[in-house]
Amino acid sequence: MDIQLEKLELIKLLADTEDPAILKSIRKIFKKEQKDWWDDLTDEQKEDLELGMQEFERGEVVSYESILKRHG
pLDDT confidence of residue 69: 87
The pLDDT tens digits for 35-63 are 778 888 999 999 999 999 999 899 888 88
What would the DSSP string read from start to end of 5-62? HHHHHHHHHHHH---HHHHHHHHHHHHHHT--GGGGS-HHHHHHHHHHHHHHHTT---
**Rounded-to-integer distance, Cα 25 and Cα 45, Å:** 31
Instruction: Record the pTM.
Output: 0.43
